[in-house]
Amino acid sequence: MSYQVPKFRHPELPVNDLGYTKADYEGSISTLCAGCGHDSISGAIVMACHELSIEPHKIAKLSGIGCSSKTPTYFLGKSHGFNSVHGRMPSVVTGAAMANRDLLYLGVSGDGDTASIGMGQFAHVARRNLNMVYIVMNNGCYGLTKGQDSATADEGSVSKKGDPNVYSGIDLCGTAMQMGATFVARSFSGDKGQLVPLIKAAITHRGFALIDVISPCVTFNNNPQSTKSYEFVREHAEATGTVDFIPMRKEITTDYDPGFSHEVTLHDGSSIHLYKMDETHDPFDRRSAINTLEDHRSKHSILTGLIYMDKDSRELHEVLETSQRPLNQLEEGDLCPGNKMLENINASLR
Amino acid sequence: MKRIESVNDFVIKFANVNGTGSASANNMFAKALFRMGLPVSPKNIFPSNIQGLPTWYEVRVSEKGYLGRRGGVDIALSVNPQSMAQDIREVAPGGYFIYDNTKPLDLRLIRNDVTIIGIPLTQICNDRYQDPRQRQLFKNVIYVGALAALLDMDFKVLTNLVQDQFKGKEKLVLSNIQALELGNQWARTNLECPIGIRVQTSDKVGDKILLDGNTALGLGALYGGATVAAWYPITPSTPVVDAFEKYARRVRIDPGTGRRNYAIVQAEDELSAIGMVIGASWNGARSFTATSGPGISLMAEFLGLAYFAEIPTVLFNVQRAGPSTGMPTRTQQSDILACAYASHGDTKQVLLFPGTPKECFDFGALAFDLAERLQTPIIVMTDLDLGMNDNMSEPLAWDDDRTFDRGKVLTAEQLESGIEFGRYMDVDGDAICYRTYPGAHPSLGAFFTRGTSRDEKAVYTEKGEEYEENMLRLMRKWDTIKEYVPAPEFVPSGRETDTGVLYFGTSEESSREALDYLAEEGIYMDAMRVRSFPFNDEVKSFIEEHKRVFVIEQNRDSQLRTLLMAEFEFGPDKLKSVLCFDGTPISARNIRKQIKMHLDGNNVTPLHRNAVATGAGGSK
């Protein structure tokens, strides 16, 4: 059940160029677990759209199924939203974008939605270079079905059940680059300072823009060593049968200088390495971007920031040479050739 | 031997090797007869193969205008040694077997009750042409030339046809006419012409056209204002989008900018194709996809979303023989139940059943109006027989004053006028609610579309009563839909009768013909052609007013009959099945035979349906 956000706002909230406050970009109150990384990403989306002064109703937000796909309810309340079918958000966005090229298409997906059931659609929407922002809220597990490993979980990582994951994890950034994505970035939900500018860059990019955002699951992605936390969750889950009673946890935030590798402790006590590219990295060179990505992967560190961008990208509407006027605004006169032509066709069929 | 003698009334079956260019030559033969004023129905019976397997092409000529499959073969023309044994076996006693006798006929195949005519086609080609490809292609044209002599066709019609077909390609015109003459001369010199079966110019065609249903559907989409087409290649529906694209390239280019007023996306699979259609329609563009059986199975989940979230969706299903991959190049009407109740949960989908190319065009365009008016998927159910064969049809027509019915969509001005907007609020009492397009207004009219349960304002809810009320509204909408979908066609027998027949789609022609045969024997039956699901009230009354109703359909499981029983609660005793599911179009003789089996004191329903099929001898 969604709640309405209280209408009360500070009277002197800063406004953007359109005269909108940040509140004009917010949605309903989140029903995700308290402290969920996804909520930080929603906040970053709100901030990015506000700072870019995009009219909220000129955005269409679409998602698939899963925890991540619930989030479009929690931001951009004045935009049309579409919570579609598991793994099939890319096709719905493709159709929507074909119908009206003037809107901004923001797709939100998770790692199950994108890397498993929707892998095919993800690959092909990247390949078609559809003009959209594709944000993956990547927590390496299936939250709504209680924590199974997802396809992005790294090999050897320990699930809630205690079994190490035996399959290699899919690197969505690497996959997207192989498929022809023209904007590829990775970030961390706790790093708003990095994420907001990346979202702004992705919105600005004309073509397919992927941001793979690592977003820890506070409820199910626990390290087995963190027994206190693990036992706590298990006891409460058994008692209530729901996940809504997880107590508030402090969100992880990180702030670090470019050019350094950082160890960030997650909710469950495990750590990931974050590495920000230094100034010498050229995100406009595809081959070096793939190499850099691979280098970091082999060192078990997670490369974040803008990884690759094709500045000369030609998005799908350009490839298909569709009319500048949105197709959904064309009328009978533009579309229907009339009876005269039909008579000619008839004549050719006799 | 009593030879078959007839004028303007016969069935000829060509037996060829797939990939040798035979279809276009056979088509030329059929179209020449059509131009002579004779109703023809050519049917391409082809394998799921690009080159090498046997393929057949059957042409029925009927001055009376019967266009369905009659059953039986009067003339077989075989240039394929692989199928020759079967081909000669199929010829009716007294019929004719024409074959390439460059290699003599196997003595064991010779029949004394059939006139056997040999033409050394390979030899003639080898003597005349050096290029192997030409030898293969012109062999077909040569036998068409020979047939013109054997059947006493108007040769001028053939040469005119070649000139029209290859307009601007003089070399091709010349070489084709030469090949026609070669065959024609050989036959006149060496054979007794004409044979007992012949044709003569008539006037039974009028202003009719010869067109395949797939092209007609593509044109329907074009005229219906479709701008976004998404699809995945699958036989036999692929030509629908091909046709849409062909004509869109001609008439949908913006004169000022040269840019396209349409977008066609070849999807990675059928799931994606229907997803794109739903996305585009949600965003206010008219959009469609075309598919066949396996695609329908894949689209099922999305069809449930479109039904529940009430998103206009246009889907053309050109049915083929299932289940699974089935017989991909053979016809059936076997997706009725899969489409009518497509998707999990309580779903009902609107189906339209066109019977002719003209109706493919009309329903193809109408589907967009209905989808937007009714805010639900509209599935146009055609089949391979209608889709891929040239069918004689009324000419296509469009009323230039016609406007698109875009349904209930609120504009920015309407939103500002202060009316209360709830995406799923039944304001007008017809259970159809108002929607808005994304981007409609800066602060009003936004809503969240979802496949989960929600309240009237489109806000997520798991309250049982709100869910239930919404599901009941969808049932009330189902009643509204009945007022919009095409009404059935009633064909009274003109006599007192307590028996009726129901049919739909491509079973129409054969059914009408079978009824004529039965009437000649003094058996009269009222007929009704169903054109849509939900069934209109007329369908219910028709069944109620008759003691017994035969339901004619081209599938094993009596799917339309099942649907009638499910929707109206008629008992199984009242509705009797007449079926054909061997992958060929149902024939008039088959229908007559099955109906008579029920009537001639054989009032016992066979225990198993396969008894019906065996008794009917398949399509023969």
The residue-averaged pLDDT of B522-534 equals: 98
- Quick check: A129 contacting B, CB < 8 Å? no
Higher pLDDT, B72 or A248: B72
Considering only CB atoms, A124 lies closest to which of B211, B272, B452, namely B272
Amino acid symbol at B554: Q
Among chain B residues, CA nearest to A339 = B398
Chain-centre distance for alpha carbon B215:
11
Confidence of residue A254 (pLDDT cuts 50, 70, 90): low
* Rounded-to-integer distance, Cα A192 and Cα A340, Å: 60
Residues in A touching B301 (Cβ below 8 Å): 85
- pLDDT-derived band at B502, boundaries 50, 70, 90: very high
Which residue in B210, B263, B283 is closest to A320 by CB distance? B263
| Beta-sheet pairing, B54-62 with B9-17 | antiparallel
- Chain A hits for B163, Cβ within 8 Å: none
pLDDT at B272: 98
pLDDT digits (tens, 9 = 90+) for A60-90: 999 999 999 999 999 999 999 999 999 999 9
- Residues of B with Cβ-Cβ distance to A92 under 8 angstroms: 275-276, 278-279, 282
Mean of the pLDDT values across residues A133-139?
Answer: 95
Contacts (Cβ under 8 Å, ≥6 apart) of B303: B274, B313, B315, B342, B343, B347, B349, B377
Name the residue among B217, B585, B214, B542 with its Cα closest to residue B378.
B217
Q: What pLDDT, in 10s, does the model give residues A207-227? A: 999 999 988 787 777 444 322
Whether residue B283 and residue A124 make contact (CB cut-off 8 A), yes or no, is no
Q: Is A265 on the interface with B (CB under 8 A)?
A: no
Q: Retrieve residue B308's tokens.
A: 């529940």
Residues whose CB is less than 8 angstroms from the CB of residue B595 and which lie 6 or more positions away in sequence, other chains included: B501, B514, B518, B523, B525, B550, B578
Rg over CA atoms, chain B: 27
Does B305 score more than 70 pLDDT?
Answer: yes
pLDDT band, very low/low/confident/very high, at A5 (cuts 50, 70, 90): low
pLDDT for position A257: 58
pLDDT value for A36: 83
* Pick from B254, B257, B449: CB nearest A81: B449
Q: Which residue in B211, B358, B450, B463 has the most chain A C-beta atoms within 10 A of its own C-beta, making it the best mutation to test that interface?
A: B450
User: How big is chain A by its Cα radius of gyration, in Å?
Assistant: 22
Among B294, B304, B371, which Cα is nearest to B334's?
B294
Of the candidates A321, A325, A100, A92, the residue with the CA atom closest to the CA atom of residue B277: A92
Interchain contact, B219 vs A345, CB within 8 Å: yes
B360-377 pLDDT tens trace? 999 999 999 999 999 999
pLDDT in tens, B433-483: 999 999 999 999 999 999 999 999 999 999 999 999 999 999 999 999 999
The pLDDT value recorded for residue B617 is 39
- For B411, how many CA atoms within 13 A lie in the half-sphere containing its CB? 4
- Chain B contact set for A332 (CB, 8 A): 225, 403-404
pLDDT value of residue B613: 43
Does the fold of domain B211-393 match that of domain B6-198?
Answer: no
| Mean pLDDT of the region A326-345 | 97
Q: Does the beta-carbon distance from A83 to B282 stay under 8 Å? A: no
b/e sequence B329-356, b meaning 16+ C-beta within 10 Å: bbbbbbbbbbbbbbbeeebbbbbbbbbb
What is the average pLDDT score of chain B?
Answer: 95
DSSP secondary structure letters along A73-94: GGB-TTSEEEE-STT-HHHHHH
Give A26→chain B minimum CA distance, Å. 13
User: Given this model, what pLDDT does residue B602 score?
Assistant: 54
Residue of B nearest to A322 (CA): B260
Best residue in B227, B252, B361, B443 for a mutation probing chain A (most A CBs within 10 Å): B227
Q: Sort out which chain A residues have CB atoms less than 8 A from B463's CB and list them.
A: none
Nearest-angstrom CA–CA distance, B76 and B11: 9
Peptide bond preceding B323 in cis form (omega within 30 of 0) = yes
What residues 67-106 of chain A have any CB closer than 8 A to a CB of chain B?
A: 72-73, 77-85, 88, 90-100, 102-103
Span A266-285, average pLDDT: 56
| pLDDT value at residue A164 | 81
The CATH code of the domain at B6-198 is 3.40.920.10
**Are the beta carbons of B187 and B151 closer than 8 angstroms?**
no
Q: Give the best residue of A1, A75, A320, A327 to mutate against chain B (max B CB count within 10 A).
A: A327
How confident is the model at residue A280, as a pLDDT? 60
pLDDT at B616: 41
Q: What is the pLDDT of residues B554-588, one digit of tens each?
A: 999 999 999 999 999 888 899 999 999 999 999 99
Q: Can you tell me which residue has the tokens 């997520």?
A: B460
Write down the pLDDT at residue A277: 56
Q: Which CATH class is domain B489-616?
A: alpha beta
Tell me how many degrees the CA angle A297-A298-A301 measures, rounded to the nearest 5: 50
For position A251, what pLDDT does the model report?
A: 47
Query: Do B56 and B15 touch, CB atoms closer than 8 A?
Result: yes
pLDDT given for residue A239 in this prediction: 22
Residue A8 pLDDT > 70, yes or no?
no
Q: CA of A211 to nearest chain B CA: how many angstroms apart?
A: 22
- The helix/strand count (H/E) of chain B reads as 20, 23
Confidence grade of residue B300 (pLDDT, cut at 50, 70, 90): very high
Give CA–CA dist B12/B26, Å, rounded: 10
Give the percent of chain B with pLDDT over 70: 97
Indicate whether A270 pLDDT > 80: no
CATH 3.40.710.10 given to domain A22-321: no
Taking an 8 Å cut-off on Cβ atoms, the answer to whether A97 and B279 are in contact is yes
The model carries a pTM of 0.92
Complex ipTM: 0.94
Could you tell me the residue ranges of all domains in chain B?
6-198, 211-393, 412-469, 489-616
Q: What angle do CA B326, B327, B329 make, to 5 degrees?
A: 140
DSSP B451: S
CB within 8 Å: A80 and B438: yes
Give CATH for domain B211-393.
3.40.50.970
Residues of A in contact with B436 (CB under 8 A): 80
Mean pLDDT of B512-541: 97
Shortest Cα distance, chain A CAs vs residue B156, angstroms: 16
Out of B285, B448, B462, closest to residue A83 by CB:
B448
- What pairs with residue A80 in β-bridges? A60
Per-residue pLDDT for B174 more than 90?
A: yes
Quick one: pLDDT at residue A322? 98
- Beta-carbon separation of A328 and B437 below 8 A: yes
Q: How far is B407 from chain A (nearest CA, A)?
A: 14
**Chain A contact set for B265 (CB, 8 A):** 94, 98, 128, 316, 320
Interatomic CA distance for residues A99 and B36, integer angstroms: 47
